[in-house]
Chain A
Amino acid sequence: MTHPSDAVLGAGAAGSWPGRGTDEQLLAMSLHQPEVFGELYARHFAVVYRYVAGRLGTDAADDLAAETFLAAFRRRHRFDPARGAVKPWLFGMATNLVARHRRAESRWYAALARAGSDPLVAPAARPSDEDRIADRVAASQARPLLAAALARLPDRDRDVLLLVAVGGLSYAEVAFALGIPEGTVGSRLSRARRKIIAALDQPEPTADGFPATLWRN
């Protein structure tokens, strides 16, 4: 009997999966070739780690990022490619794990607010780019306010906001990750950003919903 994933990848594809196939194809293959799941780990561990670490700190992320993939592996037979892609699915699991550590998340934001950081010490990607340095200065000055504002957000709003801002997911992907309608994603994101902006005492959102920038020289 030929497994659907074999048909997708072609005859003889089994055993030559690294670097080949979409995430969804690999996940399907992993149902009968569990080791294939390792390729998904290789592809996505770093981004999931950075998402979790951004919300809980690196110490917690060391465990929880790996836990995300363990949970995903255990539940891989429930994944429905018709509903969404693997990446947001992984982010959804990571978000669920983060949700079990809300107090740690609050402590992390408090630590971020307290931590002094000299943006000029860190080398910029393009040292001559004054704009980037100025951006860092602005972000550094706003750090305590921003961290405090994030900590105050309702959990569900913060989940949406950080999946977009840190995870880089689209509305549709966030909707899939969290199992909510896209419209709900939009409303939660709008609400969260308004609170962030208000906390930073920035100009009111423009007609399209948000200011183009927060800091202007």
Chain B
Amino acid sequence: MPAIDDLTAIRQLLDVPHPADEVTTAGRARLDELTRQGASRGRPGRKHHRTTSIRGRRAGIFATVTCVVAAAAAVTATLVLVHPRSAQPGAAQHAGRHRPAATAPSSVQQAILTAIGSAGGDVMHLTVSTSGGPPVARGVIQYWWWPARPAPGQQVRLLMVGNGMQTAVTFTEPAAPPARPVLQSIPASGLSIDPASKTWSTISRYMYGGVVAVTSRDLLDESYLRATYLAHSKVINGHAAIHGRTAIEISVPGTPTLHVLLWVDTRTYLPLRLVKLDSGATNYPETRKIYDYQFLPATPGNLAKLTLTIPHGYQKVSS
């Protein structure tokens, strides 16, 4: 004979599911932020610090939240699959630039922009690894670029190593960068070395807006970060917290086949790794581009990495 008492009835009426992992993680991040402040003061805090509210994050998710939730399992699997490297010399060298933890998309976005702004004068080392997609695009290319975030009119030095070539080029940052993905040929000076044929040539033009522009410049460009949605930020099963990283999913409006994931250093909020998964090319396997970033202080030693020396015995050929 079924029967329930009033307390059970109330319990059933007000019963709710356990909190979602996202909610638990966000709350924990807020607490961790506070505990760090408490630790730095050396005693329990008396001053109430406002911490980032999950409400703001929810408001910023907009319509992307549905697809984020639906894809949560796949995202997690992807994040584990593309587990970033553990050592980050660049991050270590920026240990003095610690940022408070941010959880809401807007605050995460701002923290990244602030971090990038503070690293704008650094040497950026970028490794781009491409798999899937058209075979011609596959491979690994390394870039050293200084300054990491040039101002219009500022001289830029760039070294590229990949596809069997080594190229060093110097150019002036255009006043008005072309809208992506338009390429723009601009005056430049530099040289290119082909180890296979043991030849070298001079360079007088640079195709501004090439691969670097649609990778690093995207990430370092405020308009890009502001135009995209930092839709999801989470610590993955504790791993990201252990290794000092946080993963963020970026939703790029109008590109449903493009899935972008960004890892930032939880201490500095500088980008560590960007992964773009593009399933839009139906004739090829999904394209996976992995961009690994290091921000290095512009010391003489790091700037020397931008210099290309012609090996002895190499022959000059016309450019």
Contact = CB atoms under 8 A, between A and B. Distances in A.
Given A73-B34, A132-B2, A139 B12 contact: yes
Contacts of A73: 31, 34-35, 38, 44-45
A215 B3 contact: yes
B51 A49 contact: no
A49 B54 CA distance: 14
B28 interface: yes
Interface stretch (A8-16, A32-40, A173-181): A32-40
A134 to B, nearest CB: 4
Given A54-B15, A66-B26, A196 B10 contact: yes
A134 B38 CA distance: 51
Say which size band chain B's interface belongs to.
Answer: 35 or more
B5 A212 contact: yes
A37 B10 contact: no
A62 interface: yes
Interface residues of A, number: 61
Interface string B1-27: 111111111111111111100011011
B32 interface: yes
B5 A76 contact: no
A91 interface: no
SS class, residues of chain A in contact with chain B: helix
Interface string A132-164: 101110110011001100100000000001101
B288 to A, nearest CB: 34
Contacts of B7: 164-165, 193
A201 interface: no
B312 interface: no
B4 A49 contact: no
B13 A136 contact: no
A171 interface: no
Contacts of A38: 28, 31-32, 35
B85 interface: no
- Identify which of A34, A165, A196 gathers the most chain B CB atoms within 10 Å of its CB: A34
Nearest to B42: A32
Given A62-B58, A66-B30, A197-B6, A34 B23 contact: no
A214 B16 contact: no
B55 interface: yes
Given A34-B39, A70-B34, A166-B14, A142 B9 contact: yes
B284 to A, nearest CB: 41
Contacts of A131: 1-2
Nearest to B7: A165
A165 B10 contact: yes
A165 B38 CA distance: 35
Contacts of B34: 70, 73-74
Contacts of A62: 19, 23, 26-27, 54-55, 58
B303 to A, nearest CB: 39
A196 B24 CA distance: 33
A217 B13 contact: no
A61 B17 CA distance: 12
A73 to B, nearest CB: 6
Contact of A41 (B5, B6, B27, B36): B27
Interface in A156-209: 161-162, 164-166, 193, 196-197, 200, 202
Contacts of B35: 30, 34-35, 37-38, 73
B316 to A, nearest CB: 61
Contact of A214 (B4, B13, B18, B51): B4
Contacts of A164: 7
A214 B10 contact: no
A162 B14 contact: yes
B180 interface: no
B19 A49 contact: yes
Contacts of B4: 135, 138-139, 213-215
A138 B8 CA distance: 11
B78 interface: no
Contacts of B13: 112, 139, 143, 146-147, 150
A80 interface: no
24 contacts: A34-B36, A35-B32, A41-B27, A53-B19, A61-B19, A62-B19, A62-B26, A63-B53, A112-B13, A112-B14, A138-B9, A139-B8, A139-B9, A139-B12, A142-B9, A162-B10, A165-B10, A210-B5, A212-B3, A214-B3, A214-B9, A215-B3, A217-B1, A217-B2
Given A112-B14, A165-B11, A196-B6, 11 more contacts: A35-B39, A38-B28, A46-B18, A50-B16, A65-B19, A70-B30, A70-B51, A131-B1, A138-B9, A150-B13, A217-B3
Interface of A: 30-31, 34-35, 37-38, 41-42, 45-46, 49-50, 53-55, 58-59, 61-63, 65-66, 69-70, 73-77, 112, 130-132, 134-136, 138-139, 142-143, 146-147, 150, 161-162, 164-166, 193, 196-197, 200, 202, 210-217
